[in-house]
Each structure stands twice: as C-alpha cells, then as structure tokens.
C-alpha cells in the first residue's frame, strides 16, 4: 500500500482528499497545513507521494516546499490548487512536479494522477541509479576515459584527469577536444568524430596535449554511446609515450649498428663516456678505460668541439640526427650523432657513429 502525505490548509478539502485516497487503496500517513510541516513529515515519515496545495499558511508556500522535498528526499509531489494563473503554473512546471490538479477534482482523476506520478518517479529513480552506476564505473575504471559530444569534452574520469595533468574537471569540461590535440593530429581527430554514422571505429594513434601543453602519445579506442539522451563518443586513452620512445631508440640503435664503419661511442648529457666498442677504441687508442670520464678530459686521445656538443644536447627540435667531428692522435673522424631522448622528450644520451676516418 502506497503512503501519502496530504498538505492542505483547508480542513474540509483535506478530509475529502483523505476519503478519496483511502477508497483508492492509499495509506494516509499524515496531514499538515504548512510548508514547514510538510518538510518535517517528509523527512520523518518518508511518504511515497506528497499531495501538495500551493497556497499554504506560513512562510514557505507549496512550490518552495515541493522543490526541497523532491531535491532532498527524492519524493514525488503532485500539486492541487485552484490557482491557474500563468505565474503560478510556470513556477510549478519549473519545480519538476509530477502533476498539477485544478480544484475541484474527482476521485478518478486523483487516482490516475497518483498512479502516473508514482510509476514515473520510480522510472526516474531507476534511470538516475543507472546513470550513477555508469558514472561510478567510469570514474573507477582502470583506464583513462573521456566522453566527447559534438566535439566538446563532456566528462573525464580520474585517470583521464591525471593523463591531462590537471586535478580539476572544470579545466576540461566544455572545451573543444581539439584544444588538447597536437596540431599535427587535429585533422585526424576531426575526421574520426565527424562521421556519426560509422558503426565501427578502428583504434588509432594520436598525440594529445596536457593542460600545460606538454605532448603525450596515446592509443585511442573510441566507441559511440548515448550520453544524457544524445549521441556521444567514449574515448579510452592508453598512454604509449614510453613505449613509442623505446621504439624510436631501438630504431636509432639499429641505424647506428647498420651505418658507418661500425665504430660506436655512447655519451650522456653530462658529456661522460657511457660505453664504446673496440672499433672506436682502435681509432682513439686510449691508455685507460674511458668509461665515466668526461670527453673534455680525454685530450689528446680525443678532441670534441665543446660548444658544438653542448648545442646538440640543448637542441629541443624533433630532429635528433646531427653531424660532428672528432680529432684523435691519428685520425680526423667525421661522425653522426643520434640523440636518445627520455619519455619526456629531453636529450639523455647520444650515440656517436663514425662515418668517415681520415688519417693525419
């Protein structure tokens, strides 16, 4: 049996409503005259439906009370009033009530409205719970998720916020996704999200920018979903910056191994020798193990242009291949330097490969 709270300051009308509702099979759990009492009894008795007059005694009218009851206690409210003025009706509509009955009303009319309100509210609660479950699932998902609707970012989960290097969703919500896509990849992103009729979206690679404009390489799995009743895209982003950096470095090592005369030297960004092979050592003929020593302390066995070497490690450009020369006691060496960068794109080490050796 569904429980009803009647809020009506006219005792005679309140009694009629009580008779109607009892005949219809409802349980009357309370009757009150003011908005303040309605709030109190809604909190303490938790009715299934509130039947609310609009013009009540006290400082809180029926519409104001209904808004608080529906917002704070999730109880549906049906208005009953003899006032049909546009101002009152507009306020009632904005309050998201579940019905508006104009006095005098019949028992049948009341019964139909009560049933419709009850089941509509139940459906609303079910939808709200599903949406909350969906939001909880996304928020706790072990992958960065971004929802994009009409090109705009509508939602991000916690891992996505971490990926974009911000703690505040307000920094991202409402912005165009392309504002956070590297310029070279904007056309690719726009093409993917332009075709709203495509049934399947192939995973793709893209470079995004964080909130502070740092480039991050990601692999994107995109799918079409419904978000608040409208078509949207759900993007699952996997950062692959470290993986791609490793691939790039492997390519450079391969290039170093297959190019030149096979003489290889590895130095770090502190200009210290990390390693070298025997072929390189044969050209330099050092009297000791050079590993751990600064290349600038290895004269006369090996002479670098200090300024040129410093410029190489200060180079922020994407091109990591540079030319440089080394002078030894016996040769002039024309070399290619392959700069190895860390996952943040900063120069970390350099492979020096001899391309040509000219005897003195």
Query: How is residue 24 annotated by DSSP?
Result: T
Q: Is 233 left (phi over 0), alpha (psi -120 to 50) or beta?
A: beta
Query: How is residue 262 annotated by DSSP?
Result: S
pLDDT at 225: 87
pLDDT at 74: 94
pLDDT at 242: 76
pLDDT at 355: 84
Q: Say if residues 353 and 340 touch (Cβ distance below 8 Å).
A: no
Q: Say if residues 145 and 135 touch (Cβ distance below 8 Å).
A: no
Beta strands in the chain (DSSP E): 3-7, 27-32, 49-53, 77-81, 100-102, 144-149, 152-156, 204-209, 215-227, 230-239, 264-268, 273-276, 321-327, 331-341, 347-359
Listing DSSP states for 269-304 in one string gives: TTSBEEEE-HHHHHHH--SS--TTSBGGG-TTT-B-
CA angle 188, 189, 190 (to 5 degrees): 95
Half-sphere exposure (Cβ direction) of 351: Cα atoms closer than 13 Å: 23
pLDDT at 190: 87
- 3-class DSSP state for residue 9? coil
* Spatial distance between the Cα atoms of 143 and 157, rounded to a whole number of angstroms: 9
Residue pLDDT, tens place only, 268-286: 989 999 999 888 898 888 8
* Spatial distance between the Cα atoms of 251 and 240, rounded to a whole number of angstroms: 16
CA angle 74, 76, 79 (to 5 degrees): 140
Exposed/middle/buried for 16, CB within 10 Å: 0-12, 13-18, 19+? middle
Listing DSSP states for 143-188 in one string gives: SEEEEEETTEEEEE-HHHHHHTT-S-GGGTTTSBGGGGB-GGGHHH
Mean pLDDT by groups of 10 residues along the chain of 360 residues: 95 95 96 96 96 94 96 96 93 93 95 95 89 76 91 92 92 94 91 70 92 92 86 92 74 64 85 90 89 90 82 66 85 86 79 86
Half-sphere exposure (Cβ direction) of 350: Cα atoms closer than 13 Å: 28
Q: Say if residues 274 and 268 touch (Cβ distance below 8 Å).
A: yes
A 10 A CB-CB count for 188 gives: 15
Q: Say if residues 268 and 282 touch (Cβ distance below 8 Å).
A: no
pLDDT at 106: 95
Exposed/middle/buried for 59, CB within 10 Å: 0-12, 13-18, 19+? exposed
Provide the whole-model pTM.
Answer: 0.49
Domains and CATH numbers, the chain: 3-123 (3.40.50.2300), 141-239 (3.30.450.20), 243-359 (3.30.450.20)
Q: Say if residues 336 and 259 touch (Cβ distance below 8 Å).
A: yes
Q: What residues contact 170, with CB distance under 8 A and at least 6 apart? A: none
């Amino acid at each position: 049996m569904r429980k009803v709270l009647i809020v009506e300051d006219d005792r005679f009308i309140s009694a009629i409503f009580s008779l109607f509702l009892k005949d219809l099979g409802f349980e009357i759990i309370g009757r009150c005259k003011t908005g303040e009492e309605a709030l109190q009894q809604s909190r303490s008795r938790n009715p299934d439906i509130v039947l609310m007059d609009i013009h009540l005694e006290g400082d809180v009218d029926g519409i104001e009370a209904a808004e608080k009851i529906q917002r704070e206690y999730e109880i549906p409210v049906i208005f009953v009033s003899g006032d049909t003025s546009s101002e009152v009706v507009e306020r009632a509509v904005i309050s998201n009530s579940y019905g508006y009955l104009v006095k005098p009303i019949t028992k049948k009319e009341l019964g139909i409205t009560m049933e419709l309100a009850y089941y509509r509210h139940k459906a609303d609660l079910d939808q709200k719970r599903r949406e909350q479950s969906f939001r909880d699932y996304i928020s706790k998902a072990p992958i960065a998720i971004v929802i994009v609707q009409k090109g705009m970012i509508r939602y991000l989960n916690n891992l996505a916020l971490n990926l974009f290097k911000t703690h505040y969703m307000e920094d991202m919500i409402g912005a165009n996704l392309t504002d956070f896509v590297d310029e070279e990849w904007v056309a690719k992103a726009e093409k993917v999200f332009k075709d709203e009729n495509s049934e399947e979206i192939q995973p793709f690679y893209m470079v995004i920018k964080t909130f502070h404009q740092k480039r991050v390489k990601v692999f994107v799995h995109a799918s079409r979903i419904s978000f608040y009743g409208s078509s949207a895209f759900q993007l699952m982003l996997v950062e692959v910056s470290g993986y791609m950096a490793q691939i790039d470095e492997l390519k450079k090592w391969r290039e170093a191994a297959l190019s030149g005369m096979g003489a290889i030297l590895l130095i770090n960004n502190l200009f210290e020798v990390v390693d070298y092979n025997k072929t390189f050592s044969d050209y330099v003929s050092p009297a000791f193990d050079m590993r751990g020593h600064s290349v600038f302390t290895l004269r006369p066995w090996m002479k670098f242009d200090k300024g040129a070497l410093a410029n190489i490690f200060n180079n922020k450009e994407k091109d990591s291949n540079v030319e440089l020369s080394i002078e030894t006691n016996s040769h002039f060496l024309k070399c290619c330097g392959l700069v190895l960068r860390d996952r943040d794109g900063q120069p970390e080490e350099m492979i020096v490969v001899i391309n040509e050796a000219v005897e003195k």
